[in-house]
Structure 1
Amino acid sequence: MTAAGDRHTVAEMLTTAAELDALGRDLVRMFGDDRVSRSEPDLAAYSRDMWPRLLLSVRDGRPLPHAPHFVVWPETEREVVAVVRLARERGVPIVPYGGGSGVCGGAVPVRGGITVDLKRMTAMSAIDRDEMLCDVEAGINGERFERALAARGYTFGHFPSSIYCSTVGGWLATRAAGQMSTKYGKVEDRVAGVTLVTGRGELVRTDELQRAITGPNWTQLVLGSEGTLGIITSARLRVSLAPELRLLRGFEFDDVAAGVEAIRRVMQRGLRPAVVRLYDEADTFFHSLSTRSDHSGDTDPRRFAPAPPPGAGALPDVGVRPPETDRGRRRGLGRALSALLAGNADGARKAVRRELVATALARPRLLNRLATAIVDRVSRKGCLLIIGLEGSRIRTEIEAGLTFAELARAGGRDLGEEPGRHWYEHRYSISYNMSKAFAHGVFVDTMEVAATWERLMDLYAAVRAAIANHAAVMAHFSHAYPEGCSIYFSFAGYGDTREEAERVYDAVWRDGLAAASRAGGTISHHHGVGLLKADAMAAEHRDAMTVLRAIKRTFDPDNIMNPGKLGLP
């Protein structure tokens, strides 16, 4: 175990240096020297997840405000029980850690303590072919899990954009949703039971409790708890047969409202497409810039070409560049234009594009009005709907025919398979472009909210207007249900300095979530709460927070489990 200079604030220091050394010795006896770390690089790596607000500091090379005192890598359930009991005995916080792909600060160790990385717990059982169940440990990587199932002829049906870098445990802790959730459900719909090590250091297996049928659903109590009640070490998951056929399609609608109405009609007719993604006018326009055709391809609903592996060719080439002041941007643009005139065309074009993006994002209201005008005047494509169905061949063909006919009756124009196939082949690419944006001084993020159908358009208008005051924004509708749908807002903003960028970022989230609440929507659909939405969750749940705090005290009486998350102390 490598010691390092302590860089925690006085408020974060829970123990004296001697007590920390004693705790370190106990951890080494428990895990061995190679599975315990106090090294500075490890503590820095585990001081954050992928919360974009923290990436602003990372971009500037600034130390983050919170870091663990130790990182440990358990390999067995027994070791997880042991470390939780030790932490409780010493009064030291525990933060569970999976892939670190969360975007809400859920893995940030706000009080230091021990970060427990579960990625060495990756066991996967044989599939129970009679019950269609599979036992897996929480640290297994999502992509590897899905590929292992596919090799046996099955699928979990859960395809989040983070599938390459997230874990099953992280999915369960945040009640995640995948790109095909309209058919397969959110992750909580795919879980038969979990094993949890509570903050008391006790082992609870909810699948055994569920067999009794009576009483509360203990599994659902644990899902979405974000490590505040304990550490999920394994789960019993429901799997499905791998699809025999997958059909993907594009439809065009005159506007967002028409597309939303079409989705409602499909869902309330009892049809269950796997993929439902309706892009608003701005998102449709920018989506069209990246497609390879004019969407006038084949219209045979039975055609499907296999896609390459998720994310293939999507890794960007990122350079690091600090943000500039407004005067610096003007100078940078001038240098870029001079280079262009001097004949350095390729480099100059990139520089001009970079400077123009920064300048535009510094004026979000103007940029959003300009984008709307461009879409209205230049694009006549309306709104693009990607629809996809999969499953057994006969059922999929029948359901596709019914779905496509319903969309046509609702005013949709069939664009053939090309839009759907293009989306499928590139559906993970966007996740690999975020660091490129941050390197250019821009921040990007997404806000996912949801509402019933009657409130959905009001929710869209309210949240979009709130975000547009601070950042460039566009949206798509996905994860549909008979009673409603979620909306996924993508936004990009800018600040001359890190502090200014943080101010703009905070304003986007403050105003956006407030608008969602006023419109009758929920503040989150599948990204979780963490630190980012903690206050908003407390306001949304109101009196129910009293019940949550009581549950927290029962599972974790000493408040050592991931403190500060879900609006809890």
Structure 2
Amino acid sequence: MSELERDLARALPALRTSTDPADRVAYARDLWPRHHLAVRAGNVAAHRPGIIVWPSSTDDVRALVMWANATRTPLVPFGAGSGVCAGILPREDVVVVDLKRMNRWRRFDPRAPVLDVEAGHLGLPLEEELGRRGFTLGHFPSSILCSTVGGWIAARSAGQNSGYYGKMEDMVAALECVTGKGDVVTLQRRTHGPDLVPLIVGSEGTLAIVTSATLRLHRATATRGFASWSFPSTEDGWEAMRVLFQSGLRPAVCRLYDPFDAMLARRGSVSHGPKKERAPGAGAAVLRALLRRPAAFNALIDSGLGTKAFGGALIVAVFEGPGDRPVRDLEAARRIVERSRGEYRGEGPARRWLSHRYAISYRQAPTIASGLFLDTMEICATWSRLGALYHGVRRALGESVFVMAHLSHAYPDGCCIYFSFAGSAAPGAKAGEWDAACERVYDATWQRALDAAIAAGGTLAHHHGAGRSKAPHLGKELGAGVDVVRALKRALDPAGILNPGNLIPAPTATEAVPS
């Protein structure tokens, strides 16, 4: 038994804990794609925590934080581990705090309507139970099968229906949390006086441990309207999105695919159902070879010839709401979009997307096993800067990886761009050096892309969070705002025990965090 385990057992004997080697491996990382390269190289868990604990109440969390404060033991809150930005990267002296035993409904008020639910509740069971009662939260992230309420709040999550229901910060009416000092506080959304809820939403476990949230609900609707439109170019598509959202319409889903991504969507290859898995073979070798020199491939796709060959860009939209509102909104949307060079393509693409909306989240493993790497980058900007952001980041990525994009999570004043990219080791990499060579390309690609996003006036993230992967660059985006975040950290967590190293950049941090 380690000294850490003995100290914790003496202080909190009733707390469920584990130092089992398998548990320590399971809690050593989140789903940051760079971790996958280390795993492929045989480094399964280089950052194992000292111990994992499962509190079952706010009192348990408070007692744990008080002990950690007294012993200066770092704590890392853990939801379901589906983060993709290295928000989880523990050490031997770290206690990982898995909150999934805290999954109770504390108060359900159908008249408000609101639900006070504990932070460890998993997403899909929550939405299913709400549906049985005639309600919805309206939050449908791609990770809904493997994410929790607390994780959504920590990362400032956005679901696929954000156009109508908003993001997580729009859904939180109140939070209960335990600060780094061990204080249990309840924060209410306020229109008069300081509103502290936005400080915790998106703080990624660095300021407080969220134990429950009061969430705004909506009556579930059985009425939906579906539509899709094709466009000569991606730019034409996002101009139609801008006009649509600035007109006052709010489709629950509005996704614009660039020409290559749109071609895959039309064929059903992006997120339209599982395929038979095959072991990496000759096809994987050809793909690795192509992706070692992706610039020409990207240039062909971005050319007018490529755009025409792939059939142009594509918008899929889903409207929902009470009564006949979706039908009326869809009719209004058709008038707007078809005046903006959109050619109506019927309901089919949007219905297919909805039927397989979560499939893409589980398609990474075969690509990684083939010797490649795969990742996504979600950034946003105002409409006036969107073109510079799209083209600048696409060029930066395209130097070393194959890249495609879709736009979603639109607002009257701007939009999120979601780049997906795949890459390989640089030419000349030998078999025994393959994974290390992939890591070098991966790191250089992200460095260029983040710099390009800042240069274009965009953000470094929209809804995945910053974690440790983007933290070194936050100073470039926030400037003096980083010092404000550090001051909040000192106020709420003066001992610095909550997820140290996450989100807040080190004073001299300039490089990506190692795997």
Query: Normalised by the size of structure 2, how large is the TM-score?
Result: 0.93
Does the C-alpha gap of structure 1 residues 367 and 119 become closer, same or farther in structure 2, counting only changes over 3 Å?
same
Instruction: Name whichever of 87-96 and 393-402 sits farther off.
Output: 393-402
- Secondary structure at the counterpart of residue 28 of structure 2: coil
Alpha carbon RMSD of aligned pairs, Å?
A: 2.0
Residues 262 and 314 in structure 2, CA contact (< 8 A), matched pair in contact too: yes
- Per-residue CA shift, 1:504-543, capped at 9, x if unaligned? 1111110001000001111110000000100111221111
Residues 285 and 379 in structure 1, CA contact (< 8 A), matched pair in contact too: no
Q: Does 1:561 align with 2:498?
A: yes
Q: Aligned residue for 2:31?
A: 50
Q: Aligned residue for 2:346?
A: 416
Q: What is the deviation of 1:286?
A: 2.4
Instruction: Name whichever of 66-75 and 96-105 sits farther off.
Output: 66-75
Q: What is the deviation of 1:314?
A: 3.8
Does the C-alpha gap of structure 1 residues 178 and 128 become closer, same or farther in structure 2, counting only changes over 3 Å?
same
User: Structure 1 CA distance, aligned partners of 2:436 and 2:114?
Assistant: 49
Does the C-alpha gap of structure 1 residues 111 and 177 become closer, same or farther in structure 2, counting only changes over 3 Å?
farther
Q: Read off the aligned partner of 2:232 and give its amino acid letter.
A: D
Does the C-alpha gap of structure 1 residues 511 and 241 become closer, same or farther in structure 2, counting only changes over 3 Å?
same
Q: Does 1:216 align with 2:216?
A: no
Q: Does 1:257 align with 2:187?
A: no
- Secondary structure at the counterpart of residue 178 of structure 2: strand
Q: Read off the aligned partner of 1:273 and give its amino acid letter.
A: P
Which runs of structure 2 are paired with 1:93-104 in the superposition (5 Å)?
93-104=74-85
Q: Aligned residue for 1:133?
A: 114
Q: Read off the aligned partner of 1:507 and give its amino acid letter.
A: A
- Secondary structure at the counterpart of residue 379 of structure 1: helix
Which runs of structure 2 are paired with 1:527-542 in the superposition (5 Å)?
527-542=464-479
Q: Aligned residue for 2:404?
A: 474
Residues 538 and 567 in structure 1, CA contact (< 8 A), matched pair in contact too: no
User: Structure 2 CA distance, aligned partners of 1:317 and 1:443?
Assistant: 17
Q: Aligned residue for 2:152?
A: 171
Q: Aligned residue for 2:66?
A: 85
Q: Aligned residue for 2:450?
A: 513
Q: Read off the aligned partner of 2:255 and give its amino acid letter.
A: R
Q: Aligned residue for 2:268?
A: 290
Does the C-alpha gap of structure 1 residues 27 and 119 become closer, same or farther in structure 2, counting only changes over 3 Å?
farther
User: Structure 2 CA distance, aligned partners of 1:108 and 1:273?
Assistant: 38
Q: Does 1:382 align with 2:363?
A: no
Q: Does 1:226 align with 2:211?
A: no
Q: Aligned residue for 2:244?
A: 266
User: Structure 1 CA distance, aligned partners of 2:7 and 2:274?
Assistant: 43
User: Structure 2 CA distance, aligned partners of 1:398 and 1:377?
Assistant: 32
- Secondary structure at the counterpart of residue 416 of structure 1: coil
Q: Read off the aligned partner of 1:552 and give its amino acid letter.
A: K
Q: Read off the aligned partner of 1:538 and give its amino acid letter.
A: G
Q: Aligned residue for 1:407?
A: 337
Q: Does 1:26 align with 2:10?
A: yes
Q: What is the deviation of 1:394?
A: 1.7
Q: What is the deviation of 1:378?
A: 6.6
Q: What is the deviation of 1:59?
A: 1.9
User: Structure 2 CA distance, aligned partners of 1:407 and 1:543?
Assistant: 41
Residues 249 and 415 in structure 1, CA contact (< 8 A), matched pair in contact too: yes
Q: What is the deviation of 1:370?
A: 4.1
User: Structure 1 CA distance, aligned partners of 2:231 and 2:289?
Assistant: 33
Which runs of structure 2 are paired with 1:299-310 in the superposition (5 Å)?
none
User: Structure 1 CA distance, aligned partners of 2:274 and 2:310?
Assistant: 29
Where structure 2 has 5 or more consecutive residues not aligned to the other structure, the ranges are 507-515
1:543 to 471, 480, 496: 480
Q: Read off the aligned partner of 1:73 and give its amino acid letter.
A: W
- Secondary structure at the counterpart of residue 13 of structure 2: helix
Q: Read off the aligned partner of 1:30 and give its amino acid letter.
A: A
Q: Does 1:277 align with 2:261?
A: no
Count of equivalent residues: 499
- Per-residue CA shift, 1:258-311, capped at 9, x if unaligned? 11111111111111111111111121122233279xxxxxxxxxxxxxxxxxx9
Q: Aligned residue for 2:21?
A: 40
Q: What is the deviation of 1:90?
A: 0.8
- Per-residue CA shift, 1:451-495, capped at 9, x if unaligned? 001110111000000000110000011100000101000000112
Q: Aligned residue for 1:398?
A: 328
Q: What is the deviation of 1:568?
A: 4.2
Q: Read off the aligned partner of 2:172 and give its amino acid letter.
A: V
Q: Does 1:429 align with 2:359?
A: yes
Does the C-alpha gap of structure 1 residues 216 and 138 become closer, same or farther in structure 2, counting only changes over 3 Å?
same
- Secondary structure at the counterpart of residue 249 of structure 1: strand
Does the C-alpha gap of structure 1 residues 109 and 498 become closer, same or farther in structure 2, counting only changes over 3 Å?
same
Q: Does 1:199 align with 2:180?
A: yes
- Per-residue CA shift, 1:316-358, capped at 9, x if unaligned? 7475x6xxxxxxxxxxxxxxxxxxxxxxxxxxxxx33222111
Residues 255 and 317 in structure 2, CA contact (< 8 A), matched pair in contact too: yes
Q: What is the deviation of 1:567?
A: 2.3
Q: Aligned residue for 1:364?
A: 294
- Secondary structure at the counterpart of residue 35 of structure 2: helix
Residues 249 and 420 in structure 1, CA contact (< 8 A), matched pair in contact too: yes
Q: Aligned residue for 2:513?
A: none
**Identity value in percent:** 43
Larger radius of gyration: 1
Q: What is the deviation of 1:551?
A: 0.9
- Per-residue CA shift, 1:350-386, capped at 9, x if unaligned? x332221111111121332344469627725211111
User: Structure 1 CA distance, aligned partners of 2:57 and 2:209?
Assistant: 12
Residues 318 and 439 in structure 1, CA contact (< 8 A), matched pair in contact too: no
Instruction: Name whichever of 241-250 and 95-104 sits farther off.
Output: 241-250
Residues 46 and 67 in structure 1, CA contact (< 8 A), matched pair in contact too: yes
User: Structure 2 CA distance, aligned partners of 1:377 and 1:48?
Assistant: 39
Q: Does 1:71 align with 2:52?
A: yes
Q: Read off the aligned partner of 1:120 and give its amino acid letter.
A: R
- Secondary structure at the counterpart of residue 29 of structure 1: coil
Q: Aligned residue for 1:330?
A: none
Q: What is the deviation of 1:313?
A: 6.1
Q: What is the deviation of 1:417?
A: 0.5
Residues 266 and 349 in structure 2, CA contact (< 8 A), matched pair in contact too: no
Q: Aligned residue for 1:305?
A: none
User: Structure 1 CA distance, aligned partners of 2:302 and 2:247?
Assistant: 34
Does the C-alpha gap of structure 1 residues 435 and 469 become closer, same or farther in structure 2, counting only changes over 3 Å?
same
Residues 316 and 432 in structure 1, CA contact (< 8 A), matched pair in contact too: no
Q: Aligned residue for 2:41?
A: 60
Residues 12 and 64 in structure 2, CA contact (< 8 A), matched pair in contact too: no
Residues 132 and 240 in structure 1, CA contact (< 8 A), matched pair in contact too: yes
- Secondary structure at the counterpart of residue 146 of structure 2: coil
Q: Does 1:118 align with 2:99?
A: yes
Residues 110 and 563 in structure 1, CA contact (< 8 A), matched pair in contact too: no
Q: What is the deviation of 1:64?
A: 3.2
Instruction: Name whichever of 521-530 and 545-554 sits farther off.
Output: 545-554
